[in-house]
Amino acid sequence: MMILAVMMVMTISANAMSYNAAKNEALFLSDKMAYELLRRPS
C-alpha cells in the first residue's frame, strides 16, 4: 500500500507544471479577468 502511494506521488510530481508555465497561465487568467470586468457596462 505504501509503495502505491509513493508511486502516485512520483507520477503527480512528474506531471506538475513548471514554474514558468504556471506563471504564464496565472498571468493570462488575470489579464482575461481584468478584460472581462472592464468590458461589461456598469
Give the separation between CA 6 and CA 13, rounded to whole angstroms.
11
pLDDT at 42 over 70: no
Span 2-35, pLDDT tens digits? 777 776 776 666 566 788 888 988 999 999 988 8
What's the pLDDT at 4? 75
Q: Please give the full DSSP string across 5-40, using - where no structure is assigned.
A: HHHHHHHHHHTSPPHHHHHHHHHHHHHHHHHHHHHS
- Residue 40, all three cell numbers: 461589461
The reply to whether the predicted model has a pTM over 0.85 is no
- Taking CA atoms, 15 is separated from 32, 33, 36, in Å, by 25, 26, 31
Q: What pLDDT does 31 receive?
A: 92
Cα(37)–Cα(18) distance, rounded to whole angstroms? 29
pLDDT of the residue at 2: 72
